[in-house]
Amino acid sequence: MKILVLISFFNLLGFYAAFDESEKVAKAVQEFTKAVVDADESKFSTLLSDNLVFGHSNGNVQDKKAFIAEIISRNPLDYLTVEVENQKITISGNVAVVTHIYVATAENNAKEKVNIRIGNMMIWEKDKSNWKLLARQAYRLPQ
């Protein structure tokens, strides 16, 4: 009986630890979307892995330097809002897989409003106690 109680206790600890890490990843995603809107270069430095691979829905792929340069220049898009819907987070060791629908409004260079609604898969890697975005691939949603 004592063994059963101990096993149950350790299972609960594992569940709560995974839940806590999921919350930390969700917070990192939220900080990332805010950094996109704010074009916050210093925030990207702490959120993005030096080995970032950032795939866009149009097939363009950027590294960390190119991604940050594009966002802070607000060219070709100046993001006004970014939200995520239907987010799912799966933790496996020091890696988290995040899927969601990325919903944004932006202005292009001609100051025209652009509405964005795409699927996203993000791979986050735990670096010490922080989660860093290692890879992201956007994709067009089915019509």
Question: Model-level pTM?
Answer: 0.86
Whole-number pLDDT of residue 9: 53
pLDDT digits (tens, 9 = 90+) for 115-125: 999 999 999 99
Q: How far is CA 38 from CA 1, 32, 83, 119, 121, in A?
A: 56, 10, 13, 22, 22
pLDDT digits (tens, 9 = 90+) for 83-106: 999 999 999 999 999 999 999 999
In which band, very low, low, confident or very high, does the pLDDT at 15 lie, cut at 50, 70 and 90? very low
Domains in the chain: how many in total?
1
CATH number of the CATH domain containing 123: 3.10.450.50
Does 5 score more than 70 pLDDT? no
Whole-number pLDDT of residue 143: 84
Tell me the DSSP string of 70-86: HHHHT-S-EEEEEEEEE
What does the block give as tokens for 88?
């799912």
pLDDT digits (tens, 9 = 90+) for 121-138: 999 999 999 999 999 999
Does 18 score more than 60 pLDDT? no
Domain that holds residue 85: 2-139
Contact criterion met (CB below 8 Å) for 113 and 105:
yes
